Amino acid sequence: MSRKIFIKDNIEKLFEKIERALQKANSPQRKVKVVAISKTFPASDIYYAYECGISDFGENYVQEACKKMKELADAGIVWHFVGRIQSNKAKLITQNFEYIQSISSIEKLKLLEKFAQDHNRIVKGLIQVNIGRERTKDGVDPAEVINFYHEILKINPKWVQIQGLMIIPPPSEAPRRYFAELRKIRDSCIEKGIPENMVRELSMGMSDDFEIAIEEGATIIRIGRFIFGERPLKQNP
C-alpha cells in the first residue's frame, strides 16, 4: 500500500470516529480541529494529509518545521508549535507559526509578544496546563490557571491572542479524568469573569484517546500515529 493511500484511509477512519464521538457527546454541531502531529515525517506525508482535508499541522522542532514550511509554501497549511518553547527559538516560532500551543509562563508570553510585535504578526496562543502536576513537564499548575489569566489580562498582549488551554496528560488507563478536569477549569474561568474568547479552545486528546477527549469537550485534537503510522527515528531539533 502506498503512503498516500495509507494516510487517506487513516484520515477517513479518523473523521468517522470524530463524528461518532460528537454524536455520543450529544454535540454534533461542535467543530473539532484536527492538528496532525507531523514531527519527523517528511513533507510528502504532510501534503498527502493536506490533500485529504487536514489543514493544520503541529511540529515540535523549529528548524525541522521551517524546512518543511519552505517545501510546502504553496499549500494553505496552518502551522502549530506544540513543543517546549526555548527562549533562543522564540523569535523563529513567532515568525513561522500561526498557533503556539505550549505557552507555560508569563515570561515566555512576554517574549513571544515582543517578537510578534517586532514582526507585525498576530499569533494565536494556548496556555499549557500541567494537568498531571508532573515535575518533568512544563505548564501552569491547574490551581493557578485563574491567576495566570489575571496576569495575562494585566499585561494585555495585543499580538499573542490567547484562545484557550492545552494539556499533555500523563500516560493513563483512565485519561477521562484529566480531560474532564480541564473542561471544569475552563468553565470555572468563565464563571469567574475570564472572557470566553480567551478560553474557548480545549486542545486535548491524541491518537489513543481522542474520542474520550471529544466526549469531554475537546475542540482541538492532536493526532500523529493514527494518521501517519509509527514515527520514524527522531531527528535533531
Euclidean distance between CA atoms 55 and 35, whole angstroms:
8
Q: Averaged over 217-227, what is the pLDDT?
A: 98
Looking at residue 141, its amino acid is D
Model confidence at 172, pLDDT cuts 50, 70, 90, reads: confident
The CATH H-level superfamily of 3-228 is Alanine racemase (3.20.20.10)
CA pseudo-torsion sign 52, 53, 55, 61: negative
Residue 138 above 60 pLDDT? yes
Is residue 221 within 8 Å of residue 35, measured between CB atoms? Answer: yes
Boundaries of every domain in the chain: 3-228
The mean predicted confidence, pLDDT, of the chain is 95
Q: How confident is the model at residue 231 (pLDDT cuts 50, 70, 90)?
A: confident
Cβ(57)–Cβ(79) under 8 Å? yes
Q: What is the pLDDT of residue 68?
A: 98
**What are the Cα distances from residue 152, in Å, to 71, 93, 101, 203?**
36, 20, 16, 19
The predicted structure's pLDDT at residue 18: 98
Query: Please, are residues 94 and 121 in contact by the beta-carbon 8 Å criterion?
Result: yes
pTM of the model: 0.95
**In whole angstroms, what is the distance from residue 203 CA to residue 218 CA?**
6
pLDDT for 41-74, tens place per residue?
A: 999 999 999 999 999 999 999 999 999 999 999 9
Place of cell 513543543: 83
